[in-house]
Structure 1
Amino acid sequence: MVTIPDPHLAMVRPVTPRTPRGCEECLIEGSPWVHLRLCLTCGHVGCCDSSPMKHARRHAGSDDHPVVRSFEPGEDWRWCYVHEALV
C-alpha cells in the first residue's frame, strides 16, 4: 500500500509564534487552555480541542490554515484538521 502525502503540507511555512506565551485569543479573553497548537502557515498559537474555546480548530477553519504542530515542550507531531490525521 502506497501512502500519499497530505496535500495540505504544501501550506507549511517557516513560522514564528505570534504569541509564544499562550493562545492568542485566550490571552485576550482571559480564558484557560489545556494545550497549545502552532499554525504552520502563519504562526497563530491556539488552544487545543480539549480546551474550552478550541481556538486552534477555529483558526484552521476560518483562515483555511489546516496544518498545526503541537506547541508543547518535547512534542513535535503535526496534525491536519481537514483530514483529522497526523501528517
Structure 2
Amino acid sequence: MSDINGLDPGVPPSGTGCVECDAAGGWWFHLRRCAQCGHIGCCDSSPAQHATAHWKSTGHPLVQSFEPGEDWFWDYDSNELYDPGPELMQPGAHPADQPVPGPADRVPQDWTRLLHR
C-alpha cells in the first residue's frame, strides 16, 4: 500500500483534533487523518463530516483512523478498507486521554441525537 497514490508516510498530523471543528468551536465523534497531507478531520458520523469534505476539496483519497488502537485506512476513491496499513509518522492517534466524543467542553448533552448514522 505504500506505493499507492495519496500516501506520504513522512507527513505529521495537523494536530490532535479536527482542524475545522477546532476553528469553529465545534465537536467531533471520531477523527480521521489524511494519509497524504496529515489533515485531521472528523468522521462521517460527526455533525460536520470534515474528513470527507477534505477529500472532496483536495482529492486526497486515503484516510487513516486517528483513534488510539486503530490503524486501518479507508480509500474514498475505491471505497476499500485496508486493515492494517503502513505506519505513518507519529503520533498515530489523538492523545489517549482526549475524550470521545470531544473535546469534552464542546460536546452537547444530546450529542448522540446529532450523530449521522
Q: Aligned with 2:5: secondary structure?
A: helix
Partner Cα separation in structure 2 for residue 11 and residue 55 of structure 1: 18
The reply on whether 1:75 has 2:67 as its aligned counterpart is no
| Larger helix fraction of residues | 1
1:39, distance to aligned residue in structure 2 (A): 0.2
Of the three residues 13, 23, 37, the one matched with 2:8 is 13
How many Å apart are 1:47 and its aligned residue? 0.2
Equivalent of residue 58 in structure 1, options 50, 53, 59: 53
TM-score by length of 1: 0.85
Percent identical residues: 51
> Gaps (5+ residues) in structure 2?
83-117
User: How well do the aligned residues superpose, as a CA RMSD in angstroms?
Assistant: 1.4
Q: For 1:84 and 1:33, how far apart are their aligned partners in 2?
A: 22
SS of corresponding position for 1:59? helix
Which one of the candidate residues 13, 29, 42 is aligned to 1:47? Answer: 42
Q: How does 1:30-45 map to 2 (within 5 A)?
A: 30-45=25-40
Q: Could you list the runs of 4 or more consecutive aligned residues of structure 1 that deviate by over 3 angstroms after TM superposition?
A: none
Q: 1:3-52 CA deviation, whole Å, 9 max, x = no partner?
A: xx7x8x22200220111x20000000111100000000000000000000
**Number of residue-to-residue matches in the alignment:** 80
TM-score by length of structure 2 reads 0.64
Q: Which has the greater radius of gyration?
A: 2
What is the CA-CA distance between 1:85 and the residue it aligns to? 1.7
